[in-house]
Amino acid sequence: MKQYTKAALLAAAAFMTASCHRDGHSDHEEHHHEALVLTAYTDSLEYYIHATPFSVGDKSEIEVFISREGDGRPLADAGVNVRLGGVAAESGHAHGAGIYHFTVTPSAAGPATLTLDCGGRQAVSVPVTVYEDDHEATHAVKAAPKSPFGVTFSKEMGWKVDFATGPVTEQPFGEVLRVMAVAEPAAGTQRTVSAPLSGTLHYADNRITVGGRVEVGQTIGRIDGNRTATGSLEVTIAEARSAYELARSEYERKQQLAEEGIVARSEAQRARSDYETAQAAYEHLRKGFAGGGVTLSAPVSGWITAINADNGAHVTEGESVLTVSSGREVTLRAEVSPRNARLLSALNDAVVMLPGGPVSVREVGGRLSASGTLAPGSTLLPVTIQLPGAEQPVAGSYVEVYLQGHGDKALAVPVSALTEEMGQHFVYVQVTPEYFERRQVNIGATDGRMVRIESGLTPGERIVTRGAVMVSLASSTAAVDPHAGHNH
């Protein structure tokens, strides 16, 4: 795997005195050294190494912390191998998931290479120095200076929370426009429930709300009818019964005439169809009407997308009561001022802010379209977005959307990398994987996921990308030993 070639390895000293126990030595005979701290990366792993400075003939303790790049989680049971030059290190006890302990006794002084791999893969090579004796090694490794804005945050702490780091890079970042879009059911998925007569509407229960799930045939409410004009229950049922009996009589007559050859059989078939339709309508009304009212049922299984009449309200025959959508997919519709027509003509992507997190339309294979023509009856330009397969917002809700055009590369960091204090923005720059420097940055536009950095960072620097708030909280507590919880 590709290994970072920049000074990703830190031959800086640790920020504490590591007490390394040597075999056969009692506690009062311990040797105290500034721990050698080394860091190296592959495309998918971070190796963070603590070691006793290397000297000829002296056993050095090596402790390796391995984290996955991206999610920052510890790598357990990795089959780690460590070599110093041509000498293989001896594996010792493990201190927990992601932590590996080794010992090695150097045989020759001078420049050497410390190599690590996981079962022969993800190999890294770190240049080190082997000194002539313990005294020289002790004085060669000096403690790195601490920053007045430095914060200690141990690997074990980071592994317990949602925490990750990553390099600062330049990436395409175009003009951004924030808009609000309304979620509308996709075409062809909606069915409307209308009042079959005039009366007072009563919903079945408090689950009949926008976004609620219903099954086909489920009772969603009832209309208690009145006695006025054609809206009365008796008139409605009587009309349906009369139509049914008339259609049955006509069908029987046409059937007899068709058997006698007086009329064509096609006429008899049409009469049968009319009869069956009238019969179904009558039976539906007869069974639905009870106790002076009519039951409303869900026409399809799906989600309620609109409630057009309030509980307890008077509705008239044919009035829309509610709408059910048989599909979860929605279309997001936004309207944009004509002064932003240039951006719409060069749309590259859109980021939709959903409860589960920001979603890129392009990355999920969605559709993004913008028109250069005003919407009918509007002075604004329409934009539509479809997110098939992604988390779907509830129809009728409003969603925050960031429209992004094409643009040049710019320095950008994740929104989650920023903390804010009194209107100023800060990031935490990694000095070592357990020590971070708080730094103020000036920010530009955001696309909902990334924020443009105008000043304060340079490409290649490594920052906290997730969990910056946790590091900020750690900075407000008492100073903690950076190796608290580490066993050397």
Burial class (CB in 10 A: 0-12, 13-18, 19+), 465: buried
Helix (H, G, I), strand (E, B) or coil at 412: strand
Distances from the Cα of 4 to the Cα of 69, 154, 188, angstroms: 13, 23, 53
What's the rounded Cα separation, in Å, for the pair 50 and 63?
Answer: 5
Dump pLDDT digits (tens) for 80-128.
999 999 899 998 766 778 999 999 999 999 999 999 999 888 999 999 9
Backbone angles phi, psi at 482, to 5 degrees: -60, -15
| Per-residue confidence (pLDDT) for residue 233, from 0 to 100 | 62
| Per-residue confidence (pLDDT) for residue 74, from 0 to 100 | 92
Helices 233-259/265-288 angle, 10° precision: 160
Q: How confident is the model at residue 378 (pLDDT cuts 50, 70, 90)?
A: confident
Handedness of CA 207, 210, 215, 218 (dihedral sign): positive
Dump pLDDT digits (tens) for 167-193.
999 998 989 999 999 988 777 777 889
CB 417 within 8 A of CB 465: yes
CB 195 within 8 A of CB 225: no
Q: Mind listing the domains of the chain with CATH numbers? A: 12-145 (2.60.40.10), 148-173+408-488 (2.40.420.20), 177-185+333-347+357-402 (no CATH), 190-325 (2.40.50.100)
Report for 25-29, 286-290, 443-447: range of highest mean pLDDT:
443-447
Give the mean pLDDT of the chain: 83
What's the rounded Cα separation, in Å, for the pair 183 and 391?
Answer: 12
Closest to 465 (Cα-Cα) out of 419, 408, 410, 400: 419
| Per-residue confidence (pLDDT) for residue 288, from 0 to 100 | 61
